[in-house]
Amino acid sequence: MHHNGSIVQRRPYPSPNPHVQLEEITYYSDGLKVKGLLAAPIAEGQYEGLLYLRGGIQHVGMVRPARVAQFASHGFIVFAPYYRGNRGGEGRDEFAGDDRQDAVNGVEVLKQHPMVDKERIHLFAFSRGGIMALWTAILRDDITSVVTWAGVSDVVFTYNERKDMRRMMKRVIGGTPNSMPEEYRDRTALFRVNEIDAPVLIIHGMRDVNVSYQQAVLLENALREHDRPYETWYFPAYTHFIPPVENARLVRELCEWMRKCT
């Protein structure tokens, strides 16, 4: 019997940054072998942990080594699960169904790293990763902070606003919000944000058409209603994608924000 988060294979992965070492990790999640990318600063030391929750599904929005290395270069041990059914991993990606356990169990992968501070584990999520991060923070009580950038917070809302994703969502989830309301409702974390103990930082471009700004507002409202600590960084001029220079500045600032969380 393999424990959730136990590592079965590691292989070196080419790193775009000379100060950061990358490895592709295969680990167990609900009995399935799932893969992800682990990045660590080469310099010895103790570092805070960061679970990087990617956006997209399957090959869309796949983990980018440069992005993971960027966070590691700010002094974090970073693990980015690909989620089940991706890149040779077993099972199938369910768009925040049972695959949310791949994020929950990814925390265990981080905690096994000899240089990680097990008491300081943060979640960083982009786009679809937002819903994965919210669930991870709901289902675990050892998370220090959550950053959701252009994050999905309501799967029904995503279905309604993204006509181009409906076929994929019907296939993956098994139907529509009308034919299978429970399946969609079960994926939406908004009903359980009262169980999130970690402070949440919501970053969103107000012109985002991939994941509308409304999803950030829904999350903000739910957190406020339950008196959960949160902060918002909204950008009136930006879409789903923020230009590289501004992006790099934001990463620096959010890394500082995470470090200050207690």
* Alpha carbon 214 to chain centroid, angstroms: 19
73 annotated active-site: no
Cα(40)–Cα(48) distance, integer angstroms: 10
SS3 label, residue 141: coil
SS3 label, residue 37: strand
Cα(221)–Cα(216) distance, integer angstroms: 9
The residue from 29, 127, 145, 153 that is catalytic is: 127
240 annotated active-site: yes
Cα(2)–Cα(235) distance, integer angstroms: 44
The pairing of beta strand 47-53 with beta strand 76-81: parallel
Structure tokens that stand for 123 in this block? 């979640």
Structure tokens that stand for 30 in this block? 């609900």
Classify residue 91 by its DSSP letter.
S
Cα(48)–Cα(208) distance, integer angstroms: 31
**Active site amino acids:** 127, 240
